[in-house]
Chains A and B, each alone.
Chain A
Amino acid sequence: MALTYDQLAAGFEFPPGIFKLEAVRVTHFLRSVGDTSQVYQGSGLVPPMAIAAMAMTKLSETVGLPPGSIHTSQELSFSGMTRLDDTLTSYAKISRAQKRGKFHMIAVDFDVRDQSQKTVLTGKTSFMLPQAGEL
């Protein structure tokens, strides 16, 4: 799904993104960040930052960020523990979009819910995108 910058207006809602907390991906995450925290050992618990990473990837499947894009800031709130094999759904909406010189600034609010529709993660991510064009 290709979008133009003009379509990225405040209020734009992304299609919901569904993803499963597969053990192999969580293991890759823990290895990649070198996290050996005891709380994850044999408990089936999933690091909230792994969920944030997967949720943001769902966003980028709709809006592919062009080279030169800068992830400027990130807010995250964790509101519940998740476990391996949980299926989550991310919902996201553009809360701010503005042009500043050659750059476009966008802020996306998102929340992630588990299979019982309980919110487990909320956040706001802000990007600075270079030049106008197709995403």
Chain B
Amino acid sequence: MPGTLTLSQLSEGMELPGLTKSVTQLDINLYAEAGGDHNPVHLDNEFAVKAGHGGTVAHGMLILAYISQMMTGAFGANWLQAGRLDVRFKAAARPGDTITVSGKVAKLVKANGQTTVTCSVQCVNPKGETVITGEAQVIVTET
């Protein structure tokens, strides 16, 4: 797949091509339609304020999808076939936020003709707060 990284391009410590994403209430509304999660804390500003969230917040899984998109861009179909995510949600993302999505190759393990690539991944909001942090792993086979 064009644009994806090949094994020869990978090295421990290298940064993955990152993403910058803008969160809008329209995105959140569309995500609710797609996934079926209509919790008002994501959709109803008045409700979200009364619930103590200070306004609507994006679904954590919407923001996590940004990391998956970054991994798809880097590893293509390998990510869809054999990707793993293990993350923690640390802070909320809100409409109007610009989220910086980044990843770094932490470890490469070659065995049986395959390479397991472990990456540290994170999403950071405009205040510099970590929204999501964790690990992504993918098995890459050279074609």
Contacts and interface: CB of A to CB of B under 8 A. Distances in A.
Interface in A78-94: 78-81
Interface string A100-120: 000000000000000000000
Given A26-B34, A33-B66, A73 B88 contact: yes
Interface string A22-58: 0001101101111101110000010111101110110
B86 A48 contact: no
Interface string B51-67: 11000000111101110
Interface size bracket, A side: 35 or more
Interface string B71-91: 011001101111111111100
B39 interface: yes
Interface of A: 25-26, 28-29, 31-35, 37-39, 45, 47-50, 52-54, 56-57, 60, 65, 67-68, 70-81
12 contacts: A33-B65, A39-B80, A49-B68, A50-B34, A57-B35, A60-B39, A67-B40, A68-B52, A74-B86, A78-B81, A78-B84, A81-B81
A35 B37 contact: no
A56 B37 contact: yes
A38 B1 contact: yes
Contacts of A52: 61
A95 B85 CA distance: 18
Contacts of B27: 31-34
A53 B80 contact: no
Nearest to B87: A74
B15 to A, nearest CB: 19
Contacts of A76: 83-85
A39 B1 contact: yes
Contacts of B72: 35, 37, 39, 47
